[in-house]
Amino acid sequence: MFAGKKAGIWLPYIAIALAVVALYGRTVSFDFIPSWDDKEYVVENILIQSLSMGNLKRVFTETYFSNYAPLHLLSYSVDFVVWGLNPAGYHLTNVVLHLLNVCLLFVLLSRLLNDRTVALMAALLFAVHPINVENVAWVSERKTLLTAFFSFLSILSYLSFRDNGRPLHYAFSFVFFLLALLSKPLTVTLPLALVSYEFFIKKERRGWLKPVPLFLLSALGAGVAFWAHLSHKSIEGGSLSLDVLFGTVYPTMVPVYWKYIRLILWPFGLSGFYDTTLFGSFLEPTVALSLAGWIALTIAVLWQGTGQTRFWYLWFWIWLMPVANIIPIPVYYADRYMYIPATAVFVLFGSVLSYIRKSPGAQKAVYAAFAVSFLFYGSIAFERTGVWRNELSFWQDTALKSPGQDKAQLNLGYAYEMAGRLEEAEKAYEAALRIYPSQEAVSNLDMVRAKIEYQKNKR
């Protein structure tokens, strides 16, 4: 009996491992994508090619590529020591990190929900959902995997502290939160998630004061992130004006929030780089309807929802906040921003199935519904991973999904050019010029036409 019980404890982790390996195992054979950050972060990054004191000092004291994320760079240094510039090792590390994150999420959800079945359903959906493919299959998105890993550990340590009152566990939570910030500043809102836990799950009158010290670390992390973006001019001063914020950025973002929900529930049309429809006023019908829907849903959840429902609804928005363009960033929305927020949707989906399961005779139907959902998302994700196989396949897909992005056409042209497919490169550069007549597009087009002419004369 003891052996059977022990085996049952490990079954969820075995299921998780099988799901992750089946979906992402083939990414180990994928290449880098140099034109999409892999060149800057790995291929030509001299900072990762040695664990010397000089490099370590620069990694921890300087910003890099508009970010301050030293543990992100340090992880590549470790990979370089083991693998050199063999992309297989870097992809393998991403897969292992994702596997660890799914396992940690299962543990976290088991504690928060007190229901291992719902926790496993949500964790398995997190493991195979196609919106997470970008985070795992793209080497440069390692930072989100790392920050999620340390964030989950921080929250688990905090829960242990709240259960047993041991200061050591609070210290662990603080340290893991710091490590998460050093991986990617995305996690600055973690203390808000803990406050939400205190209000809606723990429900202790003054419990919300306990995460307050973590806000000091959060403020420091936010300040460093803002400074890193400003110092590299990835945030222009003019973009912070009220005219720009309320005249373009905020109205444009309101419908984007609903697009995220659609991409989680119906993940077709996923792209590495999205076309975004810009709006200039909150009064435009699409924006007004989106805003009204968001307000109505929020009121309904906070007024009528259970503590768990309120917590997970706020979880989604709390983790989305850093990339919600409150402070504008160049990218309006991306799949990679959903890695932690989307877990709330998976939890709510599992909770609904669990509720239905309690009805007489509904258990088999519920498990069948979950199996269909798991296979549905997993099959889409498996197809999606193939897009990240190499530079050419990635930009072919991105240019097809986002035909209005000149950058996608430029990089597609470059990928064709590197593959020796010069006529196709010429067409891609011409498409980029039609979208936006940049000097880069003109130069690239002239260069590839010269190559084509040279080959004709050579014949």
- Does residue 368 sit in the same domain as residue 413? no
pLDDT at 295: 97
Radius of gyration of the chain (CA): 23
- Does residue 199 sit in the same domain as residue 263? yes
- Does residue 427 sit in the same domain as residue 286? no
- Does residue 357 sit in the same domain as residue 412? no
Final residue of a domain: which of 391, 411, 432? 391
pLDDT, one tens digit per residue, over 335-389 is 999 999 999 999 999 999 988 888 888 888 999 999 999 999 999 999 999 999 9
- Does residue 316 sit in the same domain as residue 427? no
Torsion sign over Cα 240, 241, 242, 244: negative
Residue 398 lies in a domain: no
- Contact at 8 Å (CB) between 459 and 440? no
Residue 155 CB neighbours (<10 A): 22
Q: Which domain holds residue 235?
A: 2-391
- Does residue 348 sit in the same domain as residue 422? no
pLDDT at 358: 81
β-strand partners of 67: 64
pLDDT at 1: 43
Final residue of a domain: which of 346, 369, 391? 391
pLDDT at 244: 86
- Does residue 210 sit in the same domain as residue 340? yes
Residue 397 lies in a domain: no
| Residue 396: strand, helix, or coil | helix
- Does residue 354 sit in the same domain as residue 415? no
β-strand partners of 64: 67
Positions of the chain with pLDDT under 70? 1-7, 232-239, 459
pLDDT at 232: 66
pLDDT at 150: 98
pLDDT at 293: 97
Residue 440's CATH number: 1.25.40.10
pLDDT at 243: 87
First to last CA, the chain: 78
Please count the structural domains in the chain.
Answer: 2
Angle between helices 167-183 and 70-83 (to 10 degrees): 80
pLDDT at 4: 53
- Does residue 31 sit in the same domain as residue 160? yes
Residue 259 lies in a domain: yes
pLDDT at 206: 84
Token pair in block for residue 257: 């929030």
Residue 396 lies in a domain: no
- Does residue 384 sit in the same domain as residue 416? no
Residue 257 CB neighbours (<10 A): 17
pLDDT at 357: 84
Residue 86 lies in a domain: yes
- Does residue 345 sit in the same domain as residue 410? no
- Does residue 45 sit in the same domain as residue 105? yes
Query: What predicted TM-score, i.e. pTM, was given to this entire model?
Result: 0.95
- Contact at 8 Å (CB) between 136 and 94? yes
